[in-house]
Amino acid sequence: FCLTRFREEIVEFLPRLIPLTRIVWQQTKVKMLPTPAKFHYIFNLRDLSRIWEGILHVQDTECPTSTLLLKLWRHECYRVIADRFTNEADTKWFDTNLSNTTRNYLGEDADVYDDSETYFVDFLRDVPEPTGDEPDDFVLEAPKIYEEIPSWEFLKEKLLMYMAGYNEYVRGLPMDLVFFRDAMIHLMKISRIIRTARGNALLVGVGGSGKQSLTRLASFIANYQTHQITLTRSYNVSNFQDDLKFLYRVSGLQGKGITFIFTDNDIKDEAFLEFLNNVLSAGEVANLFAKDELDEITNELVPIMKKKQPKRPPTRDNLYDFFISSARNNLHITLCFSPVGEKFRSRSLKFPGLISGCTMDWFSRWPKDALVAVSNHFLVNFPIVSTATVKQSLIAIMADVQDIVADTCIQYYARFRRQSFVTPKSFLSFLDGYKTIYAQRQADINVLAEQMNMGLEKLREAAISVDELRKDLVEKEKDILVASAKAEEVLSGVTQVASVAEKVKAEVKEVADRATAIVEEIAVDKAIAEEKLEDARPALEEAEAALLTIKAADIATVRKLGKPPYLVTLIMDVVLIL
């Protein structure tokens, strides 16, 4: 901060902030002592360097007055010191203490101190228009100007634009974030950490808070690559070392910014944390590269170091130091841990570099407005059969349910001393479950409604058919009356015929009776004749036998008789009759 870069008012006012920063840091260190629940309340001189490192990013045009400088100083103190606090009470104490200490120290100039909440970021500027005079290897990028956000709406529009660019650039992993106030605040915090050289972040929050998604988006905004290990059944320490080699090659050899996202679910072996502790503390892992690999890297670094540091001799030690320094500046480790359970505390105490080598950001419980914003995002376009007022009430009720469950978890812990967490991931699952169940029930109701409509349609068709049948029935009744009259006539005729038939029947019966009597008489005569026949049968047989004795000469004799005897004449008459 000199007169060649800043205005005289800023240059004269800034030295007063140096002892003030130390006083605030010491007061916080004395008040906020580490406890078993707040083991990470550890403050060291790195905090002071981080505060001033953040302040040094500002430029004259973005910091024209002492009031804006104090805003920037207050913002950096919050980011380095207060972001690690786990509850609202500690943050409130820090805010009150910072305000009182600053006003008391400045004395008459206390009016320039503005304690309103504000944030500084470096990604609000647009990419400049190309002029045509740029060299071939020139890359158009948005200027990184560290400045105060003009408004929350402007910031939200910028973030939505960056998210759309991320979804277009990164295929297969679409990002759908809801930028409520807390989400934008955490994104700005992460962006501030990783944009600084050697900036590493420790993000602590329950699952579903958005730690990884916000880190990916912040890395995209900073034009960094992102890398995350892929756990498999056979993943071991050797594979983790290969990943670290890749990170060092990209950040140290290629000189590109890269963000390494590491979650507590990735800790398959505690040795992983040992390596990360060395990287965060010393910037390197001993014996990570073999001698031939290191020789290859240093040989490739010779022209790069000559271009950036022409006065430095390219010895092996200088090349290695340049490699490690470049890697530390460009490699940004982001640890995404959950505070649930004892593992986070034990690991932090076992590997102190995780706390001292990182800038912390503690993700607290989502406030009510965040829950409403998320619920509105997922339900506003979801088809619900209701009025707009009812739908807004439903969105608010979703947030109330989450809040009530969270408060119940706190009461449960206060009563039984057992922790139970309801996470943002639970809220998202709650919303998805509601949408799924509603869609299923609506589909079932639609099926029933369709069946009912089909039944009503059938009833309408049946009513029409009944009306038509009723008309036909009237016509048929007329035909029936005509047919009935004809039938009566036929019936009367049939009756008359029947009476005549009865008379004929009686006469026939009488004739039949007489015929029957005659048949009976004939049967009697027949029986008598058969009886006489039986009596004459022997004579007949004798006649047949006698007939057989007749010869031709006998017949000739009879023929010669002029007047045959009476008996012969009688026999011949009988023969002729037969």
pLDDT in tens, the chain (578 residues): 677 788 888 888 889 999 999 999 999 999 999 988 888 898 988 899 999 999 988 988 888 888 999 999 999 999 999 999 988 899 999 999 999 999 999 888 888 888 888 899 998 888 777 766 666 555 667 888 999 999 999 999 999 999 999 998 887 778 888 898 999 999 999 999 999 888 999 999 888 888 999 999 999 999 999 999 988 889 999 999 999 999 999 999 999 999 999 998 999 999 999 999 999 998 888 888 998 999 999 999 999 998 888 888 888 889 999 999 999 999 999 999 988 878 888 999 899 999 988 999 998 888 888 888 888 888 888 888 888 888 888 888 988 898 888 888 888 888 887 777 788 888 888 889 999 999 999 899 989 999 999 999 999 999 999 999 888 888 888 888 888 888 888 888 888 888 888 888 888 888 888 888 888 888 888 888 888 888 888 877 887 787 777 777 777 777 777 777 888 888 888 878 87
Model pLDDT for residues 274-287, shown as the tens digit of each residue: 999 999 998 888 88
338 and 425 co-located in one domain: no
User: How much is the pTM?
Assistant: 0.76
* Residue 66 belongs to domain with CATH number: 1.20.920.30
106 and 158 co-located in one domain: no
Model pLDDT for residues 84-131, shown as the tens digit of each residue: 998 889 999 999 999 999 999 988 888 888 888 889 999 888 877 776
Q: Longest Cα pair distance anywhere in the chain, in angstroms?
A: 202
On whether residue 569 sits in a domain, the answer given is no
Q: Structural domain of residue 57, as residue ranges?
A: 1-118
Query: E strand or H helix at 212, and its extent?
Result: helix 211-221
Tell which of 96, 118, 140 closes a domain.
118
* Residue 180 belongs to domain with CATH number: 3.40.50.300
Q: Are strands 201-204 and 225-227 parallel, antiparallel or unpaired?
A: unpaired
271 and 341 co-located in one domain: yes
CA gap 399, 367 in Å, rounded: 9
Query: E strand or H helix at 333, and its extent?
Result: strand 331-337
Specify the long-range contacts of residues 147-150, CB closer than 8 Å, at least 24 apart.
147/58, 147/62, 147/120, 147/121, 147/122, 148/62, 148/68, 148/71, 148/72, 148/118, 148/119, 148/120, 149/118, 149/119, 149/120, 149/121, 149/124, 149/188, 150/124
Q: Which two tokens stand for residue 402?
A: 């989450």
CA gap 98, 114 in Å, rounded: 11
Whether 320 and 298 have beta carbons less than 8 Å apart is answered as yes
Whether 21 and 73 have beta carbons less than 8 Å apart is answered as yes
CA gap 225, 457 in Å, rounded: 63
Tell which of 118, 140, 163 closes a domain.
118
Whether 183 and 218 have beta carbons less than 8 Å apart is answered as no
Helices (H) and strands (E) in the chain, counts: 19, 7
On whether residue 144 sits in a domain, the answer given is no
One-letter amino acid of 154: F
64 and 159 co-located in one domain: no
On whether residue 376 sits in a domain, the answer given is yes
50 and 192 co-located in one domain: no
On whether residue 210 sits in a domain, the answer given is yes
On whether residue 53 sits in a domain, the answer given is yes
392 and 321 co-located in one domain: no
Q: Which two tokens stand for residue 234?
A: 């056979």
Tell which of 382, 397, 432 closes a domain.
432
On whether residue 500 sits in a domain, the answer given is no
Total structural domains within the chain: 3
Quote the strand ranges of 423-479, DSSP E.
none
β-bridge partners, 204: 337, 362
356 and 375 co-located in one domain: no
